[in-house]
């Protein structure tokens, strides 16, 4: 397959980026007509392989038979949804995804309704999870990387908040890298549309704000708290309120004591420390947020306009060999989600769920998938050396003063094959999400902690799965109602790897 036919035209400086939400509707419509992409039916899709497997279902990489472009398809078990009485909450996830149109959130392209599953067709972010990238390359402590990814998330949260959406589930596991290295927020399962306070205890313990734990009512301010936790984690290698024993209640106690009691690594510059403190302020209304957040000294000379226009080169470019490359995701071809047959009760909750006609924003994203080849390269690509920690499927970039970067090729270039590999060669050894591993952790929280800012948190045998509640793979974070009774979260968490 000729990859050049899948590549959108290059963007010149000052023009609208190819996957930006800016631009005229006429140009997008023209692109849709040229590519013939106004609708993607499920029968148009051909499975390439699995990106992730969980208790609710699985995520697969799918190719459009007509164009060769690839997308991620999240299949959610109706039986599981019915068992947890979550049928209508998955409709909320669809509603929120359809509201969003930004390059910093994984876009929804279409939805399908099957006999046993409902499906979300999404942008394929083939660079994998940010968590996996940090663990694999030991990026903890790098301010250059943390600044760029936190800036991407800042733009995503600002977009959500403009639409009165609280995200509530920020963490490295829910951040994906696209083929250019831009960071995208994914999984709107715990998001909620509200203009006031909401009282559900929901999220991941390490990232919960005090008002969420106390159930005194929370607003969009909780997302800025989680951004502070994220910055700390990317710089320190662990969350600021992480329990040494892996006990959620101990984590809650540490959160309530406040950021003032947290010891910051000596390697953090004062600007980074101050930003974390401003984001994790005990008073929700006093937390730093956009637009003032962009003016903080931590982001001095950062090119925000370049980031929004996607002109700013990311500090790291994932090694993706083609639109069918699965190497940045864990090999889970031999794992199967829990079988739970669906019995239709006649409620009709899934009527109208299917929507395979693309909106203008979705069509623009569909036309540009999979955005290859990489910036700064021609038809040739770097080939990662097997087993080498310095050739782990990524290319590092040198950061300039304004946040821009220049490519530094680390490996000898070789001709790219026309037929892209389907199998995972040198796939990252992501942490196992097994039932046994879940039972060891008993309830919540991760086991591994970083010994130094540049070290991996706990190796590949622990990883981030322990932060998610319950047993089994990809179990969603905890959600509790104001009455303190256990209640299911609003959607499964089915990220990649």
Distance CA 235, CA 431 (A): 21
Distance CA 28, CA 50 (A): 30
Distance CA 285, CA 267 (A): 29
Please give the distance of CA 43 from its chain centroid, rounded to a whole number.
Answer: 27
Catalytic: 44?
Answer: no
Closest CA to 463 of 491, 489, 495, 429: 429
Q: Which two tokens stand for residue 320?
A: 């993706």
DSSP code at position 358: P
Distance CA 43, CA 32 (A): 19
Burial class for 15, CB neighbours closer than 10 Å (0-12, 13-18, 19+): middle
| Cβ atoms of 32 and 8 closer than 8 Å | no
Distance CA 379, CA 90 (A): 41
| Cβ atoms of 374 and 127 closer than 8 Å | no
Q: Which two tokens stand for residue 132?
A: 């996996």
Burial class for 292, CB neighbours closer than 10 Å (0-12, 13-18, 19+): exposed
Sheet hosting strand 183-185, strand order edge to edge: 128-129, 175-177, 183-185
Please give the distance of CA 456 from its chain centroid, rounded to a whole number.
Answer: 19
Please give the distance of CA 21 from its chain centroid, rounded to a whole number.
Answer: 19
Distance CA 298, CA 274 (A): 8
Catalytic residue among 44, 64, 101, 169: 169
Q: Which residues are catalytic?
A: 169
């Amino acid at each position: 397959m000729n990859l050049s036919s899948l590549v959108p035209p290059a963007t010149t400086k000052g023009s609208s980026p190819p996957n930006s939400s800016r631009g005229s509707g006429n140009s997008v419509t023209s692109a849709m007509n040229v590519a013939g992409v106004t609708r993607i039916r499920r029968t148009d899709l051909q499975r390439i392989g699995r990106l992730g497997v969980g208790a609710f279902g699985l995520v697969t990489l799918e190719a459009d038979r007509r164009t060769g472009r690839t997308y991620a398809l999240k299949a959610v078990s109706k039986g599981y949804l019915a068992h947890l009485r979550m049928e209508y909450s998955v409709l909320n996830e669809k509603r929120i995804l359809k509201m969003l149109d930004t390059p910093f959130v994984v876009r929804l392209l279409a939805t399908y309704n099957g006999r046993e599953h409902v499906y979300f067709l999404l942008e394929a972010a083939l660079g994998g999870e940010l968590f996996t990238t940090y663990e694999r390359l030991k990026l903890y402590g790098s301010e250059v990387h943390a600044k760029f990814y936190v800036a991407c998330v800042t733009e995503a949260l600002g977009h959500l908040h403009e639409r009165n959406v609280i995200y509530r589930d920020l963490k490295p596991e829910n951040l994906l890298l696209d083929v250019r290295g831009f960071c995208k927020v994914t999984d709107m399962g715990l998001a909620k549309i509200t203009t006031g306070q909401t009282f559900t205890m929901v999220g991941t313990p390490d990232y919960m704000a005090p008002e969420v734990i106390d159930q005194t009512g929370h607003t969009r301010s909780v997302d800025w708290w989680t951004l502070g936790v994220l910055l700390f984690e990317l710089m320190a290698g662990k969350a600021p309120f992480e329990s040494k024993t892996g006990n959620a209640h101990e984590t809650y106690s540490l959160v309530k004591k406040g950021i003032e009691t947290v010891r910051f690594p000596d390697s953090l510059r004062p600007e980074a420390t101050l930003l974390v403190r401003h984001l994790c302020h005990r008073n929700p209304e006093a937390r730093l947020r956009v637009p003032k957040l962009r003016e903080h000294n931590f982001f001095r000379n950062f090119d925000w306009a370049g980031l929004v226009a996607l002109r700013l080169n990311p500090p790291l470019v994932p090694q993706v060999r083609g639109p069918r490359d699965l190497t940045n995701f864990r090999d889970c071809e031999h794992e199967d989600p829990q079988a739970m047959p669906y019995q239709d009760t006649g409620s009709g909750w899934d009527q109208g769920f299917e929507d395979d006609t693309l909106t203008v924003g979705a069509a623009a994203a569909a036309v540009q998938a999979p955005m290859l080849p990489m910036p700064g390269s021609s038809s040739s690509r770097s080939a990662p050396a097997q087993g080498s920690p310095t050739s782990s499927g990524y290319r590092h970039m040198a950061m300039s003063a304004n946040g821009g970067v220049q490519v530094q090729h680390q490996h000898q270039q070789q001709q790219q094959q026309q037929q892209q590999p389907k199998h995972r060669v040198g796939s990252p050894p992501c942490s196992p999400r097994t039932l046994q591993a879940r039972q060891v952790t008993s309830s919540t929280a991760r086991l591994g902690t970083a010994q130094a800012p540049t070290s991996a948190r706990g190796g590949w045998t622990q990883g981030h799965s322990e932060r998610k509640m319950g047993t089994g793979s990809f179990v969603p974070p905890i959600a509790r109602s104001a009455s303190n009774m256990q209640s299911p979260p609003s959607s499964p968490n089915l990220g990649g790897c």
